[in-house]
Structure 1
Amino acid sequence: MTTPSFHIRAHDPASDPTCLSALWYAASLRAHAFLGQEKLLEHKALIETRYLPMAETWVAEAPDGTPLGFISLLEGYIGGLFVAPGAQGRGIGRALLDLARRRRSALELEVYVENEHALRVYLAYGFREISRREVDDEGLPHANLHLRLEA
């Protein structure tokens, strides 16, 4: 059995926001390309100023300190789970979900239907659909599924 080439640590508000927003942007260009680059750039600034400060965030980090992924929790809601494109497929997302599951009795999240890879990952992990809406938080026509994972 091989040892993972990453570890998970708590988010550091002093040093993480810029590198995590860059990781978010790179991952979102792939996962949320349907939103368009302009919309993603608008949201990138909000990652640093609004979303990270209000969430409990955990960072998967390479031995050299490079962030490889992160998960942000708002109580039992997963506000975001992102893995750097070059680090996907190495178990980082699963490790971050495992950590969240240990910390919360139940987990919920929303995922774009168009983000087929993430949707497959969540369903394979055990999340189940509890509702669907045809527009996103900004009223744009991008369907979202509300998923739940029971303890």
Structure 2
Amino acid sequence: MKITGIHPDEYAEATRIWESSVRATHDFVTEADLDVLRPLVAAAFGQLEHLAGLRDDDGRLLGFAGAAAGKLEMLFLAPDARGLGGGTLLLDHARRVFGVTAVDVNEQNPQAVGFYLHHGFTVAGRSERDGTGKPYPLLHLTL
């Protein structure tokens, strides 16, 4: 696996990866939530300060990480790419190259919470609602 850039013509594929990842890991998210979030996520790719893709040896996009102002805004992997070290590669890249020192994570996604805690993040705060106002608590993590 390797880290590369993501071209605008790959944003649709990255959005599909985001959705498949959310379906696999965020069992609290509803279909209505996905319908609202999908266009927001697709639009965010072109607005992020930093964006990196994780690729297999054939160049297929397996996941991505996006960051802005030292905060990890996105890190998602295709379900079949989970558990292979790609998340760690993306996070290490985001920390080293993008200067990431913070991330918000859904409290209801214990796998993600554990991943970030394992990589040295600590809980700095908590919000009862996510960025869209939904009752999905967020943990604010920092290094």
- TM-score w.r.t. the length of structure 2 is 0.93
Contact 2:67-2:98 at 8 Å conserved across structures: no
- Structure 1 residue runs of 5 or longer lacking an equivalent are 1-5
Q: 1:131 to 1:42 in 2, by over 3 A?
A: same
Larger-gyration structure (1/2): 1
Contact 1:69-1:83 at 8 Å conserved across structures: yes
- In the alignment, is residue 25 of structure 1 matched against residue 19 of structure 2? yes
The one-letter code of the counterpart of 1:52 is F
Tell me which of 3, 11, 18 is aligned to 2:6: 11
> What is the rounded CA distance, in whole Å, between the counterparts of 1:112 and 1:65 in structure 2?
30
Question: What is the RMSD computed on CA atoms of the aligned residues?
Answer: 1.2
Counterpart of 1:108? 102
Q: CA deviation at 1:26?
A: 0.1
Aligned residue for 2:105, secondary structure, equals strand
Q: CA deviation at 1:133?
A: 1.0
- TM-score w.r.t. the length of structure 1 is 0.89
User: How many residues were matched structurally?
Assistant: 142
Counterpart of 1:52? 45
Counterpart of 2:56? 62
Aligned residue for 1:78, secondary structure, equals strand
Q: 1:29 to 1:89 in 2, by over 3 A?
A: same
> What is the rounded CA distance, in whole Å, between the counterparts of 1:95 and 1:134 in structure 2?
30
Identity of aligned residues (%): 30
The one-letter code of the counterpart of 1:53 is G
- Structure 2 residue runs of 5 or longer lacking an equivalent are none
> What is the rounded CA distance, in whole Å, between the counterparts of 1:74 and 1:105 in structure 2?
9
Q: CA deviation at 1:104?
A: 4.1
